[in-house]
Amino acid sequence: MPDSTSPIGPIGPIDPTVSPRFAGFATFARLPRLADVEHADIVVVGVPFDSGTTYRPGARFGPAHVRESSRLLRPYNPLQDIEPFATQQVVDAGDIACTPFDIVAAISAIEAGARELTASGERLLTIGGDHTIALPLLRVAAERYGPPAVIHFDAHLDTWDTYFGAPITHGTPFRRASEEGLIDQTASMHIGIRGPLYARQDLFDDERLGFSIVSGDDIATAGVAAAIDRIRSRIGDRPVYVSIDIDVLDPAHAPGTGTPEAGGMTSRELLSIVRSFSELNLIGADVVEVSPAYDHAQITGIAAAHVCYELISAMAPRPTGG
């Protein structure tokens, strides 16, 4: 049974004193499924798609791995001082099914699925899947809210033009999104960028497309608080979409990913920055590029599950007045 079945309050996770955490369906955080509730505020959905990868595949198995890794999440978040499942109805909608053989067809299916799941104003937290999926998710977000500011956590820019002539891959979604007018070009940011690029021109192109950069080295040198200040200064009160490639973390903290780069953020640093988003106007988010075949002891899956939990907590309504 869920922790709460009150008709006047949200239904929360399954009570671990009634059913052990290792039993039952592996919904995210053992939350109810979409069909089990009358309405939803936040919908967690998986997109098991990785046909846009350019190096190690396997992120198609990411949604199931993150759900399995989320079994230990608990109802109260002390660092945000919020019960994220008690103040809003959070549900797991399963996966958006899409073909692995045709990227364009898959993008269309993801876009249609996301649009259907948010038709009544729900906010979407999507578990990938590779970073290709950010493009259709941003199409739906921009359609509903107008072009949002994008906070993109990644080791890589993902604003390249094509790979082998293909315009839609996991290395191109934010270039296509900028070209389609899906993002706020005055307020979008990359966080945690590091490692070699193809050419200096990559940085010039990226700035032209509307992004500023807080690099991994910036965070290591100036710290998390400075990064948060830069984010707040650029974002303001605009609608915000957060896209988190788990490879923003150092491979020591996230070995299970397709394109790892040395010198990344720690899990603690990433979680600290995400917690600060409770002060922002979050309209949706994704966490992508978890590739279980390269994971060890669920290190990457657990990190991703906690990132999702902090995003859900940041979206939770806060009490006013008093």
164 CB contacts (<8 Å, ≥6 apart)? none
CA 104, chain centre distance (Å): 21
Residue type, 292: P
Given this model, what pLDDT does residue 8 score?
56
Given this model, what pLDDT does residue 1 score?
41
The SS3 call for residue 146 is: coil
Helices (H) and strands (E) in the chain, counts: 9, 8
Residues of the chain with pLDDT under 50: 1-5, 322
What's the CATH fold of domain 28-315?
A: Arginase; Chain A (3.40.800)
Query: What is the number of alpha carbons within 13 Å of residue 108 lying toward its C-beta?
Result: 6
44 touches 31 (CB < 8 A)? yes
Q: What are phi and psi of 260, to 5 degrees?
A: -70, 145
Q: Would you kindly state where each structural domain of the chain is located, as residue ranges? A: 28-315
pLDDT digits (tens, 9 = 90+) for 141-188: 999 999 999 999 999 999 999 999 999 999 999 999 999 999 999 999
Return the exposure string of 173-197: e unless at least 16 CB atoms fall within 10 Å of the residue's CB, then b.
bbbbbbeeebbbeebbbbbbbbeee
